[in-house]
Amino acid sequence: MSLPPAGYFDASFPGATQVVRITNLHEAKVFARRWVIRDKDPALKALLRHIEKVNSSATADSAILQLKQALACRGMLVTASPASQR
């Protein structure tokens, strides 16, 4: 399931030089898995379980929105593309 163009977003780990564009549910799952491995935060583990249980588009939208909010709370949501930051 792909997100509509307005639903795409970029994320980055603190100190990382590369930005990850999340455009679909699979990419959200992969990013969340790597984030859980990196940070070992129980709240992130719960979010990952929620994302992995997705079985409909409505649930997927909710799970991706929760991921986006978690990224924003931790300052990991990239609001401007790297090219426009120059």
Sorted by where each begins, the domain ranges of the chain are 5-85
Confidence of residue 84 (pLDDT cuts 50, 70, 90): very low
Q: Which helix (H) or strand (E) holds 49?
A: helix 42-52
Question: Model confidence at 86, in pLDDT bands (50, 70, 90)?
Answer: very low
Q: What is the pTM of this model?
A: 0.78
pLDDT in tens, 21-71: 998 889 999 999 999 999 998 999 999 999 999 888 888 888 999 999 999
Q: What was the pLDDT predicted at 13?
A: 86
SS3 content of the chain, % helix, strand, coil (to 5): 60, 10, 30
Show the tokens assigned to 56: 């409909």
User: By CB neighbour count within 10 A (0-12 exposed, 13-18 middle, 19+ buried), where does 10 fall?
Assistant: middle
pLDDT at 43 (0 to 100): 92
Q: How many CB atoms lie within 10 A of CB 74?
A: 15
Residues in the chain: 86
